[in-house]
Amino acid sequence: MSDLMSQITSSMGGLKQEFNIIAHNLANVGTVGYKRRCNTFSRSLVAQGAGSQAETDGEVDLESVFDFTQGPVKATDRSLDFALVGKGFFVIETPDGPLYTRNGMFRLDSNGQIVDTAGRLVAGESGPITIPANVGISQVSVSSDGSITAGGVSAGKFRLIDFGENEKDLVSAGMNCFHASGDARPEAPKNLIVKQGFQEGSNVQMVEEMVDMMMVSRLYEANMQFVSSKSSVSKSIIDVAMS
The three-class DSSP label of residue 29 is coil
Are the CB atoms for 1 and 169 separated by under 8 Å? no
The pLDDT score that the predictor gives to residue 188 is 93
Whole-structure pTM value: 0.80
Same domain as 85, residue 55:
no
Are the CB atoms for 113 and 130 separated by under 8 Å? yes
pLDDT above 70 as % of the chain: 79
Same domain as 124, residue 46:
no
Per-residue pLDDT tens digits for 127-149: 999 999 999 999 999 999 999 99
Same domain as 193, residue 91:
yes
Same domain as 87, residue 122:
yes
Same domain as 131, residue 42:
no
Mean per-residue pLDDT over the chain, rounded: 84
Q: Give the confidence band of 227 by pLDDT, cuts at 50, 70, 90.
A: low
Q: What integer is the mean pLDDT of 109-127?
A: 97
Per-residue pLDDT tens digits for 32-74: 999 999 876 655 555 554 444 444 444 455 567 899 999 999 9
Q: Give the confidence band of 202 by pLDDT, cuts at 50, 70, 90.
A: very high
Are the CB atoms for 220 and 19 separated by under 8 Å? yes
Give the 3-state DSSP-derived string for 73-128, with helices as H, strands as E and coil as C: EEECCCCCEEEEECCCEEEECCCCCCEEECCEECEECCCCEEECCCCCEEEECCEE
Q: What integer is the mean pLDDT of 87-107?
A: 97
Same domain as 165, residue 61:
no
Are the CB atoms for 97 and 179 separated by under 8 Å? yes
Same domain as 82, residue 135:
yes
The pLDDT score that the predictor gives to residue 183 is 76
Q: How many domains does the chain have?
A: 2
Same domain as 142, residue 128:
yes
Same domain as 176, residue 119:
yes
Same domain as 169, residue 111:
yes
Question: DSSP label at 72?
Answer: P
Are the CB atoms for 187 and 91 separated by under 8 Å? no
Predicted confidence (pLDDT) at residue 118 exceeds the cutoff of 90: yes
pLDDT above 90 as % of the chain: 63
The pLDDT score that the predictor gives to residue 236 is 41
Helix (H) or strand (E) holding 236: helix 206-242
Predicted confidence (pLDDT) at residue 239 exceeds the cutoff of 90: no
Per-residue pLDDT tens digits for 2-20: 555 566 666 777 788 889 9
Domain containing residue 60? 2-68+204-242
Same domain as 78, residue 181:
yes
Q: What integer is the mean pLDDT of 156-175?
A: 93
- CA distances to 82, 94, 143, 170, 192 from 179, rounded to whole Å, are 20, 11, 26, 6, 20
The pLDDT score that the predictor gives to residue 218 is 85
Inter-residue long-range contacts of 226-233, CB under 8 Å, 24+ positions, other chains counted: 226/8, 226/52, 226/53, 227/5, 227/8, 227/9, 227/12, 230/1, 230/5
The pLDDT score that the predictor gives to residue 15 is 84
Rounded Cα distance between 28 and 213, Å, is: 15
Per-residue pLDDT tens digits for 173-189: 999 999 998 778 899 99
Same domain as 90, residue 57:
no
Predicted confidence (pLDDT) at residue 232 exceeds the cutoff of 50: no
